[in-house]
Structures are given as C-alpha cells and as structure tokens.
Structure 1
Amino acid sequence: MQTLSIVLTCLICLPVARVCQGFNISQPQGQVEGVERSDVTLVCLVSSETPVGPVRWYKGAGSERRHFYSGFPKGGDKNDPRVTWTAEYMTVNYSITIRDLRVSDTGEYYCEKYTKADENKPYASGPGVTLTVRGVPIITGPASRVKVGNDLELTCEVNGVSDITVKWFKDEQEVTPEHRDTSWGGKSRRSVIRLTPKIQDIKSVVRCQELGLSALNPLEDKFHLKDAIAVLPGVPVIENPKLVLGDSVIMTCKLSGIYPRDINVTWTWDKTFKSSQSQHAEEHENGTFTVTSVLSFTVKEDMRGTQLTCQAGYEGLTPVSATVTLGVRGFIVSQPQGRVEALERSNVTLVCVMSSESPPGPVRWYKGNGSERTHFCSGAPKGGDKNDSRVTWTAEYMTVNYSITIRDLRVSDTGEYYCEKYRKKDENKTYASGPGVTLTVRGLPIITGPASRVKVGNDLELTCEVNGVSDSTVKWFKDEQEVTPEHRDTSGGRKINQKCHQTDTKDTGHQVCRLVSGVGTLRSEPSGGQISLEGHHCSFTWSASHREP
C-alpha cells in the first residue's frame, strides 16, 4: 500500500503575521483502504496548538463537500454517530476513527483548522486522504432447495470496488471460467456460477473471493452447499401393524437417505389432514439421514378400510408419498389351551391373553355356564363376588396377560373356565369373552384294606377308589406282576375291588393299584400306609399275617 506524506503550508493567514508563520496540517496517509463493517482511523496532525479555534472534518470537495465531524458542529451541521476523536485529549492530534464502515464511506476526507475569530473561514486545510471501502463479498443461493442432479445457481456480489478480481472455489478447487459469469453494475461486481450438485456435496463449501488493491489481503464469503440442496427419499415405507379395535397403536413412516433431516411429513386419513407427532433421525456417513415419522392413535370402528397416506418433501420440491389401507380387527380374548388335565393337590395355570391393553376395564374369570356360572377370580370383585383364595394372577403386571394359577387342586375344580373382558364405562356388560378352557382334575387312587388282619389261607380283599375320572383304566399289580382278570373285580362307579383268595406268607411284598389315563399312570396304596411318590406313581407295602392254628 502506497503512503503519501504531504505537508501543506498555511496559505490563508490572519492579519497577525506570527500566527500564520509555520502553521501546517498533516494528513500523511494519502490513501487508506478499509473493509466493510470494520473500523478505520484517518490521521490529522496540526503543527501548533495556536491559534485557538476548532478543527473540522469534511467529506468531498466542491458541491459534494459536507460536514463529517467536529467538536462543536455549527449551524445545521451534524456529526456522524459512528465517528469519534482518536486521541483522548486534542492538542495537535485531531485524528478520527470511523466504526462499522460502509461502502458509501468511500471518498476524500479533509481536516481543516478554523480560528475563534472567524469560525466560518478555514485558517488552514490538510491535503486530504482518500478512503476506499471494500465491500465484503456476499454469496446468495436459490430461494428454495435444489434437488441433487439439478442445476444450482450461486451469485456473489461485491460493492464499492470496480477494479477487482473475483474468483470462485469449490472445496479449494477453483471453478473454471466456463462455469462463471461476471457482470458489472456501477461500482459493483456481480458474479454467477452454475453447479450440478451430487449427494457428496452435502459436505462441500463454495467460496467467492475478491482481490482489491492488495492481492495479499483478499476478502471472501463462504457458502455451504448443504444449505441449498435436497436429497429426496425413495418411496416411504409405512409399517402397518395389526390394528385391533380400541387399541392404542403407533404407525411409522420410514424415509431413507434424505437431506436435510428436517423434512416436512404429513399424514392424511383419506382426505383429512393429520400432522406427524414426532420424528427420529439417524445420520449416515455421507451426511444423509434416515428419518422415521411417528403417528399414534386409538383404533376406531370407522377406520376399517380407511386409506392412510404418509407424504414427505421440502418446500418448492415435489413430495413423495406412500399409502396403506387399514384393516381393523375386533377385540380378541385368547384362551389357547382348549383342554387341561391336572392332578389332585397339584397346581395348574389357565392361560388368558388379550389382543390389546385397551379399552380400559377389568378382566374376570368365571366357572361354568348358564345357571351353573359362578365368579371365580378378578382383580376387584364386584358386589357379593369373592375370589377363590387358592387363585393368583400368573403375571406380576397385567397388561395383556391375565392368566391365573390355581393351587392345591381339588376334583371339584373340574369344569369350564371363561376369561372375560369388561369396559370401565360399562362393567356389568361383557365386552369380549374367550372360548373357555376345560379343566379336568384327576383324583389320586386310594387303596383300602381289611379292618383287621387276615389269617393266611383266607380271602383278602383290597379296594382301590379313584375320584374325578370316568374314562380311565385301572390295573392291579402284585410285586410288579399284573393281577390276572380272575383275581380282579371292577364295580360300577369308581371303586375297584381285588380279592386275593389264598394268602400266604410269601404274599409279603408290594400290592399296587395303577390308574392309567391320558397323562400317565398313578399308583396308590392302602389308606393308613405311608405314601411315597415315584413320578406319577404311588405305591404301598403291606405284609400278610401268619397265625398259628
């Protein structure tokens, strides 16, 4: 930067010769270059503190001359509010600092001395300083986003300078002239480039650089292409879950490989608009996103057959969409077991699963049908209903699983069990009922012997009684040898007798009654003996009595 130091000797003097002799004003900078929105100092030094009088700054010459700054503006003059004296105490230094420079500040600035005796006539004037304010390059992009693969136009405008060079760079690579268009307009330079962005340009930066009076201090503006381009998804993917009447469901619309993440998503029921309630975004390495839009609602009867559309897009671009037809199922109570067989004094679980948590309301278990129907178990029994004390809910927290466990089963527990759903707004009317489950409780075989000992050689009669089962097969075994038919007598009902016609001392051993049915074999012993469980078998050891004649 060239600096000119000019000293202008006072040519205009007052009558007092000693005041004029040697007085001068120095504006040594000659030319100053500033940058838009920055600060600059214009230097003015006077050779003496006398004569007494103000110092004023003016911009321009001739008809364009106007007051710019002074300590005490005269008449209608006003100070520019951005200007201050540079020195705290002005004696010979009347330099000024201009803040927040504008391109319009470009021009000639003159520092002038006045005397108190005649404040309307300059006593001395400096040679002036030329201030050139370089406008900061400003890049503007399109009004709306441009789809990748289409042309993108960027404009760089620089004001206040006519003899400058403008260059474009994309990721440090200069844009070649065939992609650059430069036009002039007064003291400004407007340059336009056209690019065809790709997906990888999400991370690209474009720079517009201007070189003013000094090529060593270029000014530039940056533009991130991610602010102007858009990557649209393919066809959205709508997850269509099973819809159950009264259920609260979440529908999702998945948009893969998009940019930017803030895409506009709307849902519509046929032609009724419904906005997306929330979105979740996952970023990929190339800068694109997979966005999942979520819509939650409660399934209603009138939604059956309704078309639900997910539409996504960016302002100014054609959106993409996908549509599904909703299928609504009724509320279902599932009791999948059908039939369950269990043993007396054991535990059993009866399964009941709801198709949905809603509508809110209790679930109750009933035993039997018609006039034999009785309340068996529920969370909060109503009226005079009572829960069977042996029954508990199987799950710790009931949402859709309302299975129950019955402990210490009795033969009398045999029967049909129904799991039923009720709504909170009408707890006296069944909302949905399961198909029921048939529970059959098999009683354990019980052997009873004679009231007193039997003499060897006399007949011995043992009775095996089984309760709760009608379609079973009963077999007798003596020392693991099945008793032949002639030694077995089966009576009606569920009591089976066996007679041993001739007892002997060798009869000491095991007498076993085995009950055979669908779930296995039961063995039992005479009453009064000690029961030992061997899997599903129960055995009894007895001794024949031998008495001397």
Structure 2
Amino acid sequence: MATLTAGSGLSLPCLVLLLLLGIPGAGAQEFQLLQPQGAVSVSAGETLTLLCSVTGNPPAGPTKWFKGSGPTRQLVYEEKGSFPRVTRVTNTDTDYSIRINDTRPEDAGTYRCVMFKKGLGGDEEIGSGAGTNVSVSARPSAPSVSGPPSRAEPGTPVNFTCTSGGFSPRDITVTWLKNGVPLPAPQTRVLPEHENVSYNVSSTVGLNLSAGDARSQLTCQIEHSALAAPLRGTYNLSHALRGQSLLSSPALWIGLVLEKMLTGAFLLFLFLRAPGLFPDVLARSPPATCSVCSLCPQPGDQPPDGGAAAPPAGLSHGAQA
C-alpha cells in the first residue's frame, strides 16, 4: 500500500510526478515582477525612467517591455534588437528598469514589463507587471494671428484668427485682448476631437473696426499646463484698415509741399546766418563784396614785375605817343 504524506492527501508517487513535471506550486520557488509606478508625467524632450524588478527565483528567459496590451501591443525594448532611444538602467538579473530619451507626445500610453521563459516552441509569457500609465506634456507652438485677406473700410465687421499646435494634454485656454482689454465670446476649437497624442487649436474673434483702430493692437494669449507663462501673438489693426490714398487727398499734397518749403527756408536761413556751418561751400564761392570789374587791372596799378603799367584796353600805340 502506498504511503500518504501527512495532510497532503496525495501519495508519494503523485508528489514525485508533480515535481518532475515542474507544475507551479509543487516545490518550485515563486517569483514576483514588481512595477511600482502607477502613473508618470513627463514633458516632451525629457528622459523618462520606467521601473521594473523581479524577486524570487524566476526561470531562465528574457524580460521585455511593451506599450499597450493585447495583440496590438508595441514592443518597446528587449535585449536583442536596436532601440535607439531606449536603454537599460542597470545590467543585472533582478532590475529591468529602462530609460526613454527625448520623449515625444506619441510616447504617451501604458507600459508593461513582461517576463518570459524559454520553451521548445519559443518564449512563453509567464508574468507581467501592473503597468505604468505615461502622459507626455508638450508645449503649444507660438500663436500666429491672421487678419482679413484684404483691407476693410472703417465700420466693416472683420474676423481675426489665432492658431497654435503640437500641444498635449488637450486642455488649453485662449484669450483675446484689444489694447490689453479682454474681448468677449471668441469661437475656439481644439482638434482632433477624439483622444490623440497632440492637438491643435484655432480661435476666431470678430471686430467692427473704426478709424481710431489704426493705432490699436490685437493680442491672442494662450495658457497651457506645459507653459510656465502664457504665450502671446499680436496683430496691429492698422494692417486691416484701408487708409486714404495720397493722390486722392489734396490736403495731404499741400501739407507735403509746405513741409518741403519750410525745410528749404530753414536751411537757407542757417546758410546766411551761420557761414561757419558750411566752410566747404564758402571756400569755393567768391567773396560777397567781389565784382567782375574789381578783378580787372585798374589805371595806375603797378604790374607785378615793377614795370610800366599796361595801357588801358582799346588804346593804340599812336594814341599813346
């Protein structure tokens, strides 16, 4: 008769068979895969560290990292293969933590550390970590403000649009200001409307322009969790107003001519009252008291060589005798 072990309810041959088959719980040491991070938030461009370790005595086999779950899960890291942005933190048999460099919005998702054991038909999955949910915060781009395609007359309603993109998470606040004063009821839309790795925003505000808006400025202000301070884009409303043409305004012509005349008169006044301001001009000009006649020889003048004075022009030799 076979002898039964105390309290087991199994005969000795049965226990031996279980040990030979390697059935879990029959003498094999247990192991536990630890993934302590429930959720991690990182800014785009930073380095993300995902923790995973094993305790106990796991069977021989690789440990891999996956993003997502099910048949569509994406392999993130394993010892074999090339993963340029992913590296092991330490190269030990108990720590399987990894680093992801230069994180991007598309890196957001749930990551799991999965252990395998070697089998005749390939690696067999035997354990998985609880999973770490990673969110990547990305800054919105600088806001760009655009006005109407053509200039408008004063009193005409005009729409202005502010756009920005590449941000995550989805929540964003857009505020319009005219000369620093908030404008009411802008129409703001964030796309895509479904969950995505990054988002774009477009906001539109309408204004009735007046002639005085030629000196006004419109500001689009964006606030987001990834920003330490709001981003602003500006638009000068003079670019949207249709101004008067110089040819169609005689008053502008007259003002321009008067300006040139006054400028010329002022320069002439300076020239006459302050000759020292224009030494080069005066050096090339004859003295104010000089005349053409004074440059000619006069009767009684001695020639430079001390000889007799030259006869006046027009006298013949006979007259001189």
Q: Same fold (TM over 0.5)?
A: yes
CA contact (8 A) 2:112 2:132 kept: yes
Which structure: greater helix fraction? 2
Q: Check if 1:101 corresponds to 2:109.
A: no
* Whole-Å separation in 1 of the counterparts to 2:312 and 2:95: 122
2:29 aligns with one of 21, 31, 34: 21
CA contact (8 A) 1:36 1:134 kept: yes
**Alpha carbons of structure 1 residues 31 and 90: separation in structure 2 relative to 1, 3 Å:** same
1:204-237 CA-partner distances (Å, limit 9, x unpaired): 86431224xxxxx657773442699859998789
Q: Give the letter aligned to residue 21 of structure 1.
A: Q
Q: Give the letter aligned to residue 225 of structure 1.
A: T
Q: Check if 1:225 corresponds to 2:229.
A: no
1:89 aligns with one of 91, 96, 99: 91
**Alpha carbons of structure 1 residues 27 and 176: separation in structure 2 relative to 1, 3 Å:** farther
* Whole-Å separation in 1 of the counterparts to 2:147 and 2:45: 26
The structural deviation recorded for 1:111 is 0.2
**Alpha carbons of structure 1 residues 22 and 31: separation in structure 2 relative to 1, 3 Å:** same
Q: Check if 1:194 corresponds to 2:198.
A: no
**Alpha carbons of structure 1 residues 178 and 468: separation in structure 2 relative to 1, 3 Å:** farther
Pairwise CA RMSD of aligned residues? 4.8
1:474-516 CA-partner distances (Å, limit 9, x unpaired): xxxxxxxxxxxxxxxxxx9468xxxxxxxxxxxxxxxxxxxxx
| Correspondences of 1:150-549 after superposition (within 5 Å) | 151-157=159-165, 161-162=169-170, 164-168=171-175, 175-183=182-190, 185-187=193-195, 188=199, 190-194=201-205, 199=215, 201=217, 206-211=220-225, 218=227, 222-225=231-234, 230=239, 340-342=292-294, 440-444=296-300, 467-469=310-312, 493=319
1:123 is aligned to: 126
5+ residue gaps, structure 1: 1-12, 74-78, 212-216, 238-334, 343-347, 349-439, 447-464, 472-491, 496-549
* Whole-Å separation in 2 of the counterparts to 1:110 and 1:81: 19
May I ask how many residue pairs the two structures share in their alignment? 239
User: Sequence identity, in percent?
Assistant: 19
2:48 is aligned to: 40
The structural deviation recorded for 1:60 is 1.1
Secondary structure of the 1:181 match is: strand
* Whole-Å separation in 2 of the counterparts to 1:92 and 1:17: 22
**Alpha carbons of structure 1 residues 62 and 157: separation in structure 2 relative to 1, 3 Å:** same
CA contact (8 A) 1:208 1:220 kept: no
The structural deviation recorded for 1:183 is 4.5
TM-score, structure 2 normalization? 0.55
Secondary structure of the 1:178 match is: coil
1:301-321 CA-partner distances (Å, limit 9, x unpaired): xxxxxxxxxxxxxxxxxxxxx
Q: Give the letter aligned to residue 205 of structure 2.
A: R
**Alpha carbons of structure 1 residues 229 and 141: separation in structure 2 relative to 1, 3 Å:** farther
Q: Give the letter aligned to residue 224 of structure 2.
A: E
Q: Give the letter aligned to residue 142 of structure 1.
A: S
* Highest RCO, 1 vs 2 (Cα 8 Å, sep ≥ 6): 2
The structural deviation recorded for 1:180 is 4.0
1:185-220 CA-partner distances (Å, limit 9, x unpaired): 21246341437686464xx86431224xxxxx6577
2:8 is aligned to: none
* Whole-Å separation in 2 of the counterparts to 1:29 and 1:48: 20
5+ residue gaps, structure 2: 1-20, 208-212, 248-285, 303-307
Which structure: greater strand fraction? 1
